[in-house]
Amino acid sequence: MALLSLHGIGKRYRQGEVEVSALQGIDLEIEEGEFVALVGPSGSGKTTLLNIVGGLDAPSEGRTELNGTDITTLKEARLSDFRLFQLGFIFQAYNLVPVLSALENVELVMVMQGRPAEDRRRRAQHYLDLVGLDKVMHRRPSALSGGQQQRVAVARALAAGPRLVLADEPTANLDSENATALLDIMHRLARKQKTTFIFSTHDQRVMERAERIVTLRDGKIVDDRRVEARHHEHAD
Amino acid sequence: MNSRHSHLPVAMLLMLAWRNIWRHWRRTLITLSSIAIGFALSVLMIGIGDGAHNSLIRNAIKLGEGHITVQPRGYLEAPANHKYLADGKALLAKLDALEVPGSVEPRIALQVLASTANNSVGAGLEGLSPRGDRRVDMLKPHLVDGAWIEPGDLRGIVIGAGMAGKLKAKVGGKVVLMAGKQGGDSQAQLARVRGIFDSKVDELDDYLILGDIALARRFLEGEGADPTLEPVTRFAVFLDDPDDMAAWKARLKAALESDRVAVLDWQEMMPQLVQFIMVDDAGNYIFLVLILIMVVFGILNTVLMSVLERTREFGLLRALGLARRQLLALVFCESLVLSLLAVTIGWIMGGGTHLWFSTHGIDIASLMGGGSTAMMGSFMDPVIRTELSWDRVVQLTLIIFGATLGSGIYPAIKAARVTPVQALRT
């Protein structure tokens, strides 16, 4: 069974007097462990689709099944718990809580999960080590570069042990070097932990690292193909 | 994992709240200062009010009839010279047996006409023990001419400056005291002015005549009282601890009250003073409400600004799985921490100010240009020392704490309403 199944997802919203269709008839299945890029021009519906998959937004029609649960039927509070235990998020910007250190940011989701202090501290340190931030783990986000902040977000998303990580344009605010390094880390960890990743991008460098590219245009899937990853991992 | 629900331990909540309120430390400091100053002002104002009232009450009690008064039933409603406690000796023995912690002072109060060759005025003759009576303690320092009456002086009186002026009486001058008797006759005693006091309280200076209790008792003899039973018109009971008044009043009522004897407390004896204090307190409370409004808007401004600035952050937390109620708790916790800090700093400032003024006092008399501090038939001490009871401490703390905490409710609800997708779009 696929980890994620989207059946006839549509999303419409009103913009003044006009009804805009952001997504139409999206059917998609993603298997466990896939490293999927959602690509397409601005306004093609990538972020809307990720929000629906993450339970942050409700579709106007269709069903989203994740790990056998139809999340479109879940009530607010259960959906919140579902996100906490099943999903990891990496956003384009403003990803971290500014008053917490890198280590505390990574721990935060595990605190909410109710993990014992020792376990979460150990996991947080381990994942920060994996993303190469063991030396700066006690710094607050304001003392970290954009690339380092996104790496903290990756560590936070993975340390909590999600089934699926959703990343909305994670490299959009990074320079080329940092973007490449971040993607390498994400890819390496995804492989190592067999965590499923879906990330939206219109960045060619990101696409090159994907194993499957789903192309959206005007709210519809116009292409879905598996590719051989062509990148060379950078040392991080 | 304990369960599949979102957790946010109190320690984490407090830590986040603490760090969040110091995110804009200047803003927080300004808010805290304004609350603390407001609080200190409230403490000072309430302290001065209570100090002034208590000073007024203490003096009124000393000048008046004590914390508790034992007097003939019906005297308060319709005072008359023929209403007296005929067997004062027996009543005093009962009072002594009760071992009231304080003092019991027998007094005879009569309405008389005081006359000299020049003029006649209505007056209140107060027969008391010239030594040891609290009223003597209060008025003796205000003696401006002559000397105080000696015990057993059956002719000597001390009068107020106002009365001396009206009667054109001087020290050593004769004054005839005349009192009506039940049935229409009258009786008179000749007295001599030994001294003149000037308390600046018109009600005392223009009306009061002080004499030995034996002098006043002669008028009761004229009414048919047996002097061997030591008749009096009242016993003024002064308690060492005024807080015990209610308990002692109940005990005295149980032991002494009858169809002829009534036991009253100072509030019943001086209802106008109670009324005056209530009206004055109401004014203070209005001022307190204004300060509270300032405090509420101060906190509301700080917490609401901080909530509006963090919409994206709240969206992120909600996206990560923080429950709505936990977000509400987080923002509310920030108000709580701010309230605790404000009350603590407020108490340090307010308490310090209170301590200083409770020791050094405020020279009300000089602020009033050396004028009289007389009020409601009593007078305040010229230097007012702030007073704060524990009840006031608890009351003020709860009011400020409640107001600051209450002002965090709206921002907390606003934060909890944030939907992740809208917040992350901002």
pLDDT at B40: 85
Distance from CA of A114 to the nearest CA of B (A): 5
First-to-final CA distance of chain A: 35
Q: What is the pLDDT of residue B53?
A: 83
Chain A residues inside the 8 Å CB shell of B306:
none
**Residue B58 burial (CB < 10 Å; 0-12/13-18/19+)?**
middle
d(CA B138, CA B126): 14
Would you state the pLDDT for residue B376?
57
Q: Say which range, A16-30, A217-231, B169-183, B257-271, has the weakest mean pLDDT.
A: A217-231
- Chain A hits for B7, CB-CB cut-off 8 Å, are 111-114
Whether B411 contacts B339, CB under 8 Å: no
Give backbone dihedrals phi and psi of B385, rounded to 5 degrees, phi first. -105, 135
Of A64-68, B380-384, B400-404, which range is least confident? B380-384
Q: Which residues of A touch B6 (CB under 8 A)?
A: 80-81, 84, 112-113
pLDDT at A61 over 70: yes
Identity of the residue in A56, A94, A114 whose CB atom sits nearest the CB atom of B421 = A56
Rounded distance between C-alpha atoms, residue B100 and residue B248, angstroms: 8
Question: What is the reported pLDDT for B1?
Answer: 43
Residues in chain A within 8 Å Cβ distance of B324: 76-77, 80
Q: Is A80–B3 a contact, with Cβ atoms under 8 angstroms apart? A: no
Task: Evaluate if residue B372 carries a pLDDT over 70.
Answer: no
What are the chain B neighbours of A56 within 8 Å (beta carbons)?
Answer: 319, 420-421, 424
Would A49 be classed as within a structural domain?
yes
Q: Give the whole-angstrom CA distance, residue B216 versus residue B218.
A: 5
| pLDDT for the residue numbered B379 | 64
In this prediction, residue B58 carries a pLDDT of 80
Amino acid at B7: H
Closest CA to B75 of B231, B237, B219, B263: B263
CA distances from A175 to A95, A128, A188, B107, B378 (A): 17, 21, 20, 98, 83
A43: its two tokens: 């306004």
Per-state percent for chain B, helix, strand, coil, to nearest 5: 55, 20, 25
Chain A residues with a Cβ under 8 Å from any Cβ in chain B: 51, 54, 56-57, 76-77, 80-81, 83-85, 87, 89, 91, 94-95, 97-100, 108-109, 111-115
Beta-bridge partner residues of A95: none
Q: What is the largest CA-CA distance in chain A?
A: 54
Q: Which residues pair with B232 in a beta bridge?
A: B85
Q: Of B12, B20, B323, which has the smallest distance from its Cβ to A111's Cβ?
A: B12
Radius of gyration in angstroms for the set of CA atoms belonging to chain A, rounded to a whole number: 17
Handedness of CA A112, A118, A119, A123 (dihedral sign): positive
CATH number of the domain within which A207 lies: 3.40.50.300
Compute the mean pLDDT over every residue in chain B, rounded to the nearest whole number. 86
Domain assignment present for residue A233? The answer is no
- Which of A119-123, A189-193, B38-42, B272-276 has maximum average pLDDT? A119-123
**Shortest Cα–Cα distance, B334 to chain A (Å):** 13
Residue B79: per-residue pLDDT:
85
Buried b (16+ CB within 10 A) or exposed e, B389-404: eeebbeebbebbbebb
pLDDT-wise least confident of A123-127, B215-219, B353-357, B399-403? B399-403
Instruction: Look at B1 and B41; give whichever has higher pLDDT.
Output: B41
User: Where would I find the H helices in B22-158?
Assistant: 25-63, 88-98, 134-139
Rounded mean pLDDT, B30-41? 84
**Range A178-202 average pLDDT:** 85
Question: Which of A224-233, B216-225, B336-345 has the weakest average pLDDT?
Answer: A224-233
Cα B82 to the center of its chain, rounded Å: 34
Say if A234 falls within a structural domain.
no
Q: How confident is the model at residue B62 (pLDDT cuts 50, 70, 90)?
A: confident
pLDDT of residue A18: 87
Given an 8 Å threshold on Cβ–Cβ distance, is B321 in contact with A84? yes
CB contact under 8 A, B321 and A83: yes
Per the CB < 8 A criterion, the answer to whether A158 and A88 are in contact is: yes
- Say how many domains are in chain A: 1
- Residue from B415, B417, B419 nearest B17 by CA: B415
pLDDT at B59: 77
Q: Is residue A172 one of the residues assigned to a domain?
A: yes
Chain B interface residues facing chain A, Cβ-Cβ under 8 Å? Answer: 1-9, 12, 16, 19-20, 23, 312-313, 316-324, 326, 420-421, 424
Least confident range from B71-75, B319-323, B359-363: namely B359-363
Contact residues on chain A for B8, CB-CB shorter than 8 A:
111-112
Which residues of chain B have a CB within 8 Å of the CB of A95?
316
Give the Cα separation of A68 and B57 in Å (integer): 79
Euclidean distance between CA atoms A63 and A69, whole angstroms? 10
pLDDT at A232: 46
pLDDT at B373: 60
Is A218 among the domain residues? yes
Q: Looking at CA atoms only, how far is residue A133 from chain B in angstroms?
A: 21
Q: Is the dihedral of CA B242, B246, B247, B252 positive or negative?
A: positive
In a domain, A231, yes or no: no
In the prediction, which pLDDT does A234 show? 44
| C-alpha triplet A65, A70, A76: angle, nearest 5° | 125
Q: Is residue A235 part of a domain?
A: no
At A14, give phi and psi (nearest 5°): -95, 135
Given B1, B321, B424, which is nearest A91 (Cβ)? B424
Amino acid at B145: D
C-alpha–C-alpha distance, residues A10 and A5, integer Å: 14
CA–CA gap between residue B57 and residue B45 (Å, rounded): 18
Rounded Cα–Cα distance for residues B257 and B270 (Å): 20
Q: How many whole angstroms separate alpha carbon A30 and alpha carbon A216?
A: 15
Chain A closest CA to B323's CA: distance in Å? 6
Q: CA B321 to CA A157: how far, in whole Å? A: 12
Q: Does residue A12 lie within any of the structural domains?
A: yes
CB contacts of A81 in chain B (<8 Å) are 4-6, 321, 323
pLDDT at B2 over 90: no
Query: Minimal Cα distance from A84: which residue of B?
Result: B321
Q: What's the Rg (C-alpha) of chain B?
A: 32
Beta carbon pairs, A and B, within 8 Å:
76
Print the domain residue range for A138: 4-226
Task: Name the residue facing A95 among B316, B324, B420 (closest C-beta).
Answer: B316
DSSP 8-state secondary structure symbol assigned to residue A235: P
- Which pLDDT tens digit goes with each residue over A85-111? 999 999 887 689 999 999 999 999 999
**pLDDT at A235 (0 to 100):** 39
- End-to-end Cα spacing for chain B: 34
